[in-house]
C-alpha cells in the first residue's frame, strides 16, 4: 500500500494513540506541494480542516493543473482534512517565493501537532525547471533557499517548543542545512530531522562538529531507484524504501513508496547499491569539478529554455517530439554536458524506453564544456598566482 492507503487506515487514530512516525512525515512533506498560497498568507493560522474547506471552496479546479507533485499535494489535503489524526493540526507561518532571475523556489510552513511538537515542513522541487535547476546548484554552491531556511528557523522556532524539520527532495536538504547552521539554543530543541530523497550538504558548506551534534536525529529516506538523494550522501541513519514503480520521476515522488501499517517497507540494499541512475550520478559527481558542473547546469537549462520547456511535466508527457526538440538545442553543447543531458532526458521522459538509441550526433561532438571548464580553471589559477605575487 502507499500513503493514501495509510491515511484511510490510520486516519481515525490520534497522535496520542499512535505517535508521529516516518509515514506521517511523508504525508506532511507531500501536503506542502499543494499551491496553498492561494488561500494561506504568512499571518494566517488554520487547522488543516479549515484550510481544506477554504482551498476546495475557492479553487475547486486547482487539482486539474499539470504539476506533478502539486496534484499529489492537493489529493493529500483532500484525504486528511476531515480525519481525526490530521484535521485539527494547525498550519501557520506559511511562506512561498519563486524568483526566476535567481532560480530560487522556496516554500515552508509550520504544523502544530497534538503532542506539543511542531513540524517545520520545507517544500522540495516542484514541477518547474527552476526548482530542478536549483537542486543541481547544490552540487557546486550554496543556494538562496538554504539561506532562507536558516533565517526562517532562527526567526520562528522557539526555545520553548520541540521541532521536527522535514522535507522532500530539495526540502530535505533545507531541513538538514537549517538544523546544522541554526542557533545552538534552537538546535537543542530539534528532536528530529528527516530528508525524503534530498541531497546532502556540500563538503565545505558546514562544520563537521555542527553536523555531529544533530547526526543522531537525522534520517535520510531514499527510494531503491534513487537519484536526487545520491548527491552528497552523508553519514546518517538511512531507510531505503521499496517502490511501486520503475519510473525514476515517480520513484522520486513519495506516493510510490511502499507502506506496511505505519512504517516504510525497506528494500533490498543490493538493489540500491547497483541502481544505474544512482551510479551514473555518483560517477558524474566524481569525474567533474564544481566549475564543470556549473557550466553543465547553465548550458543544459538554457537548451531547455530555448526549446520552450519550462516544466518537468512537459518533458514527462511530451514524448518524442519534446525530446528531439531539446536535442536540437543541445546540438550546440558538447562533451560532458551533452552526455549527462541525454541521461537526464532518458530519466525524465516516460516515453523513452531504456533500450532506445538517441541521435548519434548527441554523442559525437567535441568536449567543448570540459574545455571551457579547463580555461576557467586556468584563469582562476593565473589570478591566484598574480594575487600571491602582489
Structure-model confidence comparison of residues 323 and 198, the more confident one = 198
Specify the pLDDT at position 161: 95
Specify the pLDDT at position 191: 98
- The residue-averaged pLDDT of 52-75 equals 74
Query: With 70 as the cut, is the pLDDT of residue 326 above it?
Result: no
Give the range among 65-69, 167-171, 227-231, 256-260 with minimum mean pLDDT. Answer: 65-69
- The residue-averaged pLDDT of 21-32 equals 97
Give the range among 7-16, 58-67, 241-250 with minimum mean pLDDT. Answer: 58-67
Residue 174: name the closest of 111, 114, 104 by CA: 104
Specify the pLDDT at position 363: 36
Q: What's the pLDDT band for 368 if we cut at 50, 70, 90?
A: very low
Q: Are strands 259-260 and 263-264 parallel, antiparallel or unpaired?
A: antiparallel
- The residue-averaged pLDDT of 367-383 equals 58
Give the range among 50-59, 303-312, 370-379 with minimum mean pLDDT. Answer: 370-379
pTM: 0.81
Calpha distance 28→196 (Å, rounded)? 11
Share of the chain above pLDDT 70, in %: 72
Query: With 70 as the cut, is the pLDDT of residue 63 above it?
Result: no
Calpha distance 138→132 (Å, rounded)? 10
Cell of 172: 530535505
- Output phi, psi for 240, to 5 deg: -100, 110
Give the range among 16-25, 135-144, 302-311 with minimum mean pLDDT. Answer: 302-311
Domain ranges of the chain: 3-276, 288-373
Sequence-distant (≥ 6) Cβ neighbours of residue 295 within 8 angstroms: 337, 369, 372, 373, 376
Calpha distance 142→137 (Å, rounded)? 7
Q: Please report how the helices 312-330 and 68-80 are oriented relative to each other, as an axis angle in degrees rounded to 10.
A: 170
Q: Are strands 190-196 and 162-168 parallel, antiparallel or unpaired?
A: parallel
Calpha distance 95→107 (Å, rounded)? 5
Calpha distance 347→215 (Å, rounded)? 32
What SS3 class is residue 128? Answer: strand
Query: With 80 as the cut, is the pLDDT of residue 37 above it?
Result: yes
**3-276 adopts what CATH topology?**
Rossmann fold (3.40.50)
For 263, the enclosing helix (H) or strand (E) is strand 263-264
Query: With 60 as the cut, is the pLDDT of residue 353 above it?
Result: no
Calpha distance 78→56 (Å, rounded)? 8
Q: What are the pLDDT digits (tens) for 208-236?
A: 999 999 999 999 999 988 777 878 888 88
Kindly report the length of the chain: 390
Looking at every residue in the chain, the average pLDDT score rounds to 80
Q: Please report how the helices 312-330 and 290-306 are oriented relative to each other, as an axis angle in degrees rounded to 10.
A: 100
DSSP secondary structure, 312-373, as one string: HHHHHHHHHHHHHHHHHHHTT--HHHHHHHHHHHHHH-TTS-TTPPPPGGGGSS--HHHHHH
Specify the pLDDT at position 347: 47
Calpha distance 115→11 (Å, rounded)? 16
Query: With 60 as the cut, is the pLDDT of residue 354 above it?
Result: no
Sheet strands side by side (includes 90-99): 45-47, 90-99, 104-112, 117-122, 162-168, 190-196, 218-223, 237-241
Strand partners, 122: 108, 167
Structure-model confidence comparison of residues 287 and 28, the more confident one = 28
Specify the pLDDT at position 361: 34
Specify the pLDDT at position 379: 65
Specify the pLDDT at position 324: 57
Amino acid at each position: 500500500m502507499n500513503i493514501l492507503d495509510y491515511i484511510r487506515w490510520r486516519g481515525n487514530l490520534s497522535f496520542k494513540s499512535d505517535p508521529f512516525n516516518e509515514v506521517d512525515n511523508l504525508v506532511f512533506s507531500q501536503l506542502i506541494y499543494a499551491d496553498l498560497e492561494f488561500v494561506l498568507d504568512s499571518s494566517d493560522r488554520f487547522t488543516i480542516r479549515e484550510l481544506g474547506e477554504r482551498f476546495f471552496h475557492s479553487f475547486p479546479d486547482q487539482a486539474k493543473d499539470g504539476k506533478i507533485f502539486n496534484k499529489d499535494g492537493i489529493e493529500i489535503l483532500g484525504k486528511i482534512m476531515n480525519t481525526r489524526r490530521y484535521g485539527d493540526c494547525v498550519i501557520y507561518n506559511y511562506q512561498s517565493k519563486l524568483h526566476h532571475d535567481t532560480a530560487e523556489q522556496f516554500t515552508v510552513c509550520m504544523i502544530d501537532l497534538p503532542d506539543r511538537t511542531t513540524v517545520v515542513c520545507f517544500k522540495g522541487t516542484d514541477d518547474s525547471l527552476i526548482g530542478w535547476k536549483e537542486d543541481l546548484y547544490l552540487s557546486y554552491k550554496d543556494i538562496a533557499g538554504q539561506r532562507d531556511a536558516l533565517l526562517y528557523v532562527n526567526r520562528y522556532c522557539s526555545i520553548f517548543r520541540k521541532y521536527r524539520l522535514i522535507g522532500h527532495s530539495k526540502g530535505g536538504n533545507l531541513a538538514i542545512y537549517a538544523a546544522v547552521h541554526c542557533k545552538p539554543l534552537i538546535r537543542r530543541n530539534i528532536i528530529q530531522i528527516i530528508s525524503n530523497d534530498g541531497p546532502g550538504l556540500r563538503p565545505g558548506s558546514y562544520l563537521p562538529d555542527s553536523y555531529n551534534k544533530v547526526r543522531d536525529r537525522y534520517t535520510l529516506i531514499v527510494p531503491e531507484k534513487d537519484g536526487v538523494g545520491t548527491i552528497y550522501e552523508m553519514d546518517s541513519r538511512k531507510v531505503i524504501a521499496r517502490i511501486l514503480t520503475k519510473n525514476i520521476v515517480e520513484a522520486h515522488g513519495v506516493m510510490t513508496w511502499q507502506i506496511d501499517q505505519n512504517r516504510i517497507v525497506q528494500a533490498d540494499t543490493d538493489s540500491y547499491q547497483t541502481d544505474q541512475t544512482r551510479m551514473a550520478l555518483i560517477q558524474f559527481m566524481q569525474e567533474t569539478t564544481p566549475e564543470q558542473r556549473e557550466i553543465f547546469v547553465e548550458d543544459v537549462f538554457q537548451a531547455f529554455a530555448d526549446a520552450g520547456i519550462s516544466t518537468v511535466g512537459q518533458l514527462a508527457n511530451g514524448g518524442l517530439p519534446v525530446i528531439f526538440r531539446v536535442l536540437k538545442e543541445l546540438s550546440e553543447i558538447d562533451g560532458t554536458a551533452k552526455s549527462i543531458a541525454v541521461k537526464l532526458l532518458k530519466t525524465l521522459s516516460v516515453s523513452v524506453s531504456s533500450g532506445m538509441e538517441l541521435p548519434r550526433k548527441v554523442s559525437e561532438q567535441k568536449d567543448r564544456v570540459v574545455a571551457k571548464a579547463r580555461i576557467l580553471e586556468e584563469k582562476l589559477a593565473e589570478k591566484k598566482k598574480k594575487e600571491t605575487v602582489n
